Amino acid sequence: MRFADYAKLYLKAGDGGAGMAHFRREKFVPRGGPDGGDGGDGGSIILEGYSHMNTLLDLRYKKFLKAPKGRPGGSSQKTGKKGDDIVLRVPLGTVAYENETRRVIGEVVQHGEQLVLAQGGRGGLGNTHFKTATNQTPQYAQPGEPGVEIVVEIELKLIAEVGLVGFPNAGKSTLLSSLSAARPKIADYPFTTLEPNLGVVQMPDHRSFVMADIPGIIEKAHEGKGLGLQFLRHIERNKVLLFVINGMSDVADEYRILCEELHAYRKDLMDKPRLVAITHMDLFPEFKLEEQPELDVRHVPVSAVTGFGLDELKERIWEMLHDK
């Protein structure tokens, strides 16, 4: 299934049905009172969280949605039928914004959780409600209220506790496949990863956490260069940022550039706990770096090929997730 993390929708909720102005007329009740029923409410358009989905691809083909109207009220105080709601299933971690103002409408983070994007109009009241001591035969009934019309932007921000951050070809996908059962595409050329991948990292004592492989970031990604900007939003939900840097490169310089890109995108990202995994240690004699990089955060040398340092890396991540 293709990955999609953005959709723009034009929504029109159903209008409420009109109330009815009607009077009871029976053979032996020639002057019966008002008995007009209320109109039905219009259908709403709703997002619903679904844990078995991981893409917004379906919404790409549902740009214009209009919910059914409520039916008019009937005689004998019969309420009109409510318009059916349109329920859109989305992955957990989906956020909805109002298009013009970028106001956050809400987000869906649990299975079965619902978020109303466009509320259906209320049905109008029948003339039964307007009978008074001085007006025994009200001729008036309310029209239904119009349903909400709105343009919304839907974004998916993957829910993962740990996000892998690094340059293209740093070894993020290989590391994820070694730590979890995920099988991302791996090759020896840049931008192999074109979409985020999730993997569950299992540990002893039934412990586990979710890790996300984010497509590689390049310098000036926050200005729209490369593929990084499109997926930087997925880092926002991560509790811990794991910087993956190739040990054959200038580790300190690459770490500095990555930090600058995250800071330029959103300053608060740098408030998250950080850890550096220095990869490709199997290329060094006795798995030791020739020079220790000058980093202001803890770093763990690892080799996804041989498994060197992976157990230590998992324990360090677990400690950071649980503030040990």
List the chain pLDDT tens, one digit each, 324 residues.
Answer: 455 678 899 999 999 999 999 988 877 777 778 999 999 999 999 999 988 777 788 887 888 999 999 999 998 899 999 999 999 999 888 999 999 888 999 999 899 999 999 999 999 999 999 988 888 889 899 999 999 999 999 988 767 788 888 887 777 888 888 887 655 444 344 444 445 677 778 888 878 888 888 776 655 544 444 444 556 666 777 889 999 999 888 999 999 988 888 888 888 888 899 999 999 898 888 888 877 888 889 999 999 889 999 999 999 999 998 875
Single out the residue of 187, 272, 168 nearest to residue 225, CA to CA.
168
Output the CA–CA distances (angstroms, integers) from residue 98 to 8, 159, 240, in the order listed: 10, 22, 29
Single out the residue of 175, 198, 234 nearest to residue 51, CA to CA.
198
Alpha helix stretches (DSSP H) within 250-307: 251-265
Count of residues making up the chain: 324
Domains and CATH numbers, the chain: 1-156 (2.70.210.12), 162-321 (3.40.50.300)
Tracing tokens 């119009």 back to the chain, one arrives at 146
> What's 271's DSSP letter?
G
Query: What is the Cα gyration radius of the chain?
Result: 29
